[in-house]
Amino acid sequence: MITTTQLDNNAADSLFRMLDYARKNSIESEKFFEQLARTGILSDDPRMKELLNNFTLQSQTRKKNSITQTEFNAILKQNALIKKSLSKNLVIPDFESFIKEVEKIFYESKKNEGGNVADYIPQLARVNPDQFAVSICTIDGQRFSLGDASTHFCLQSSCKPINYCLALEELGEKKVHSHVGREPSGQSFNELALNAKGLPHNPMINAGAMMSCSLIDRENNIADRFDKVNKIWKALCGGKEVSFNNSVYLSERQTADRNFALAYFMREKNAFPSKTNLTETLEFYFQCCSIESCTYDLSVAAATLANAGTNPLTGDVIFQSSTVQNCLSLMLSCGMYDFSGEFAFKIGLPAKSGVSGALMLVIPNLMGISIWSPRLDELGNTVRGVEFCERLVEHFSFHQYDTLIGNTAKINPRRKENELKVSKVMEVIYAASHGDLDEIFRLEAEGVSLNTADYDGRTPLHLAACEGQTDVVEYLISKQVYLSPKDRWSNTPLDDAIKFGNKEIKALLETAIKKQSKNKSETREHNNQNVLV
């Protein structure tokens, strides 16, 4: 019987062969990291830190830039992520194909030059309107970015979901929602309006966001309260520091009449907890809006929400899953200003936008996406961001109700065990017919059997014998596959080799079959002797 350790070793051997391009019995470190990057696992991933430190140490001390098989096996044993990644077992197994499609969607959306940058404060009015960035992070931490992904911009309203989560974590759903509702307002984000109970409609509009600010760590001093928010953003972004734009903060404070009016209106209705300091609460809110980061880091924050509150890169639990569930529900119904209903209908995913052109999109249990492009439509949403989301959902089955529609032309890039098995059979047969040994090694590492057969009973050995793929035939023989399986027309690989005039393969198969039957009769004799004794 094959043990798990043997299976592990076989998989490790196959992966090693796959990466040993030059067949030198060693892997170049550079190639190793390139291959990981193709699956979306990048070198600045905190889960790669230890491994990278070891590599740097080795190349400094021994000037060594390659990995032996023993070292490779040790790496796989130590770091489960690497094995999962190389054997294409991450949540988006074919990350390369996926990002190719995303790239097309990005460049199509980039053509859209509609809309205008927000101009209520000079700091936003002066931003280069042409900038566009998209970053993706899956719940397995596979990442990919396009455009101005490292340029910082202020969070503005995209800080609102996180402040709401902080209030929920601290005070619980009941207390928080005794101060803020959870209905879309049907009005503009800064409308001077409260619900029938005199409370802000929801935490995703200005009044509700100020309310969340009044609830966070309210017994503490304002500096520590801001530190708390900063720290949570850092943790959400996988340990990357966020920055603060003081000019944005000062401008927000200077042009805050409407927000002050809203706050006074709420105070008149006794909406705030008692002893709330209004000015302090508003300043805290403006400070949160003035936090800056880039899509590269913010996609990790979005992925943390997609991953029910656990950061996929650090494994840290930032929020409880129930907190995230509440937050995503409100992002879905209220996150996109006056376009929220339309967005929920068309895109079917929770999102939050901000007047800086920021857009955080969450695909639960799959990935977080951070988008930024400063031109806004008349409702205040990033024009390219919305177009990107529309195209994305037209192309991939990401709308939350796509599962209801069976027969769709949309692509589903998620891993699906059963479907995958069938397609793997086809892949290994295809690889054998094309002489693609590397692909065979990779599929073997994934656990695909080389004895597998398609609906017609055709095995990789049949196909390799037909197509004259001598290397593949040799390799399959060395792996002791069945040498004479019959397809539905009763043909064996040897019959195929003869039929297609592949003499070398014919000879190889005949020798192997002879050797096998000799071994068999020897074993039989040996067993008989044992019986006689």
- For the annotated catalytic residues, the residue numbers are 157, 160, 285, 337, 355
**DSSP annotation string for 248-317:** HHHHHHHT-HHHHHHHHHHHHTT-SPTT--HHHHHHHHHHHHTEEE-HHHHHHHHHHHHTTTB-TTT--B
DSSP H helices, 468-502, are 470-478, 493-499
Nearest residue (CB) to ligand GLU, 8 versus 191? 191
Characterize the bridge pairing of strands 358-363 and 351-353. Answer: antiparallel
Distance of CA 345 to the CA centre of its chain: 23
Cβ distance to ligand GLU smaller for residue 156 or 276? 156
**According to the binding rule CB under 6 A, does residue 289 interact with ligand GLU?**
yes
Token digits of residue 94: 């074919």
Angle at 243 between CA 238 and CA 244, to 5 degrees: 145
How far CA 369 is from CA of 133, 147, 151, 179, 422, in Å, comes to 10, 14, 16, 30, 30
For 221, counting Cβ atoms within 10 Å of its Cβ (0-12 exposed, 13-18 middle, 19+ buried), the class is: exposed
**Least spacing, CB of residue 84 vs ligand GLU, in Å:** 38
**Is residue 262 near ligand GLU by the rule CB under 6 A?**
no
By CB under 6 A, tell whether 355 contacts ligand GLU.
yes
Least distance from C-beta 393 to ligand GLU, angstroms?
23
CA distances from 230 to 160, 221, 233, 354 (A): 13, 15, 5, 18
Min dist. Cβ of residue 137 to ligand GLU (A):
23
Minimum CB distance to ligand GLU, residue 388 (Å) = 18
What is the pattern of x (binds ligand GLU, CB under 6 A) and - over residues 498-527?
------------------------------
Nearer to ligand GLU, 259 or 333 (CB): 259
**Which residue lies nearer to ligand GLU by CB, 254 or 403?**
254
CB of 259 to ligand GLU, least distance (A): 5
Find out whether 357 and 376 touch, Cβ atoms under 8 Å: yes
Cβ distance to ligand GLU smaller for residue 52 or 379: 379
CB of 188 to ligand GLU, least distance (A): 10
Using CB under 6 A as the binding criterion, the count of chain residues that bind ligand GLU stands at 10
Verify binding: residue 433, ligand GLU, rule CB under 6 A.
no
* CB nearer to ligand GLU: pick between 132 and 285: 285
Applying CB under 6 A, among 206, 287, 370, 382 the residue interacting with ligand GLU is 206
Cβ contacts of residue 508 below 8 Å, gap of 6+? 470, 473, 474, 477
Residue (156 or 299) nearer to ligand GLU, CB: 156
Can you tell me which of 14, 39, 85, 157 binds ligand GLU, judged by CB under 6 A? 157
Q: How far is the CB of 282 from ligand GLU (least distance, A)?
A: 9
**Measured in whole angstroms, how far is the alpha carbon of residue 152 from the centre of its chain?**
21
CA distances from 531 to 325, 329, 517, 528 (A): 68, 72, 21, 5
Q: Which is nearer to ligand GLU, 165 or 443 (CB)?
A: 165
Out of 189, 284, 296, 319, which residue is the one contacting ligand GLU (CB under 6 A)?
A: 189
> Which of 354, 364, 385, 413 touches ligand GLU (CB under 6 A)?
354
Which residues within the stretch 112-151 sit at the binding site for ligand GLU (CB under 6 A)? none
**Closest distance of CB 104 from ligand GLU, Å:** 29
Q: One-letter amino acid identity for 266? A: M
What CA–CA distance (Å, rounded) separates 212 from 229?
A: 12
Q: Which of 85, 145, 251, 259 binds ligand GLU (CB under 6 A)?
A: 259
Q: Could you give the CA distance from residue 461 to residue 476 in angstroms, rounded to a whole number?
A: 7
**Is residue 156 a contact point for ligand GLU (CB under 6 A)?**
yes
> CA-based Rg of the chain, rounded to a whole angstrom?
29
For ligand GLU, the binding residues (CB under 6 A) are 156-157, 189-190, 206, 252, 259, 289, 354-355
